[in-house]
Amino acid sequence: QSVLTQPPSASGTPGQRVTISCSGNTSNIGSNTVHWHQHLPGTAPKLLIHSNNQRPSGVPDRFSGSKSGTSASLAISGLQSEDEAVYYCATWEESLNGPVFGGGTRLTVL
Amino acid sequence: QVTLRESGPALVKPTQTLTLTCTFSGFSLTTSGMCVTWIRQPPGKALEWLARVDWDGDTYYTTSLKTRLAISTDTSENQVVLTMTNMDPADTATYYCARIRYASGLAMDYWGQGTLVTVPS
């Protein structure tokens, strides 16, 4: 059981826009910024978005993030086959002094 | 170029102690705002934060495993070591180390590929 709630799966066709949601509470998302990671099996997870909506260098602008209250979203526009992966949201939990995660959303490009 | 790599045994017997090493390059853990953390993911389950060590030597542990975990650093070797005592089959998981930077909003901006540790029943 993960602390943050994500839908287990999402899908779209090439070129489409998909969004993935992440829900928490006032002690995690409500109090801290949200980050998004992309994970392909057997590889190191990759940071896509930090601080709600900031893209690290090298991340395409097809990826965008937003946060409102105790929820956050990752949007992927112009969907490509290489976007097939598991996407995790993460944020800080004050009481833990460490990060908490969503359960992950498996994105399928049809 | 920032890299992190986990190493350690693939198989640990119940009640034994697990020792994992995270060897990193491309940054210094003594730089203000830098942290290294350990995270695990049991098969089919969610990511779980375990421990972190900060640039100033402060350490933090997840509450549920605090009595079993110890994190330490060897700054000269650019390594962070995690030990977990009294291993149980429920500890079977892929263990990751990652860098956290305060400047990135406490995001884990680089991860290792992970190492699978199996504890047989």
Average pLDDT along chain B, 121 residues, taken 10 residues at a time:
97 98 95 96 94 95 96 91 98 98 91 97 93
Mean pLDDT for A10-19 is 97
Cross-chain Cβ contact A44/B46 below 8 Å: no
The pLDDT value given to residue B76: 81
Instruction: Kindly state the average pLDDT of the residues A75-80.
Output: 98
> How many CB atoms are located within 10 Å of the residue A26 CB?
10
Task: Using an 8 Å CB-CB cutoff, list residues of chain A that contact chain B.
Answer: 1-2, 32-33, 35, 37, 42-47, 50-52, 54, 56, 88, 90, 92, 96-104
* Chain A residues near residue B100 by CB distance under 8 angstroms: 99
Residue A42 reports pLDDT greater than 90: no
Task: Give pLDDT, residue A1.
Answer: 82
So what's the pLDDT on residue B77?
82
Residue at token pair 């389950």 = B45
- Is the predicted pLDDT of residue A59 greater than 90, yes or no? yes
Which of A2, A50, A55, A106 to mutate to probe the B interface, most B CBs <10 Å? A50
Rounded to an integer, what distance in angstroms lies between the CA atom of residue B43 and that of residue B48? Answer: 12
Residue A50 has pLDDT above 90, yes or no: yes
Set of chain A residues whose Cβ sits within 8 Å of the Cβ of B106: 32-33, 92, 99
* Mean pLDDT, chain A, integer: 96
CA distance A27 to chain B (A): 15
Question: What mean pLDDT comes out for the span A75-81?
Answer: 97
CA distance B21 to B23: 6
- A87 has pLDDT over 90: yes
Q: Is the CB of B47 less than 8 angstroms away from the CB of A51?
A: no
DSSP state of B89: G
Average pLDDT over residues A17-26: 97
CA angle A56, A62, A63 (to 5 degrees): 50
The pLDDT value given to residue A94 = 87
Residues of A in contact with B96 (CB under 8 A): 44-45
Separation of alpha carbons B33 and B56, rounded Å: 9
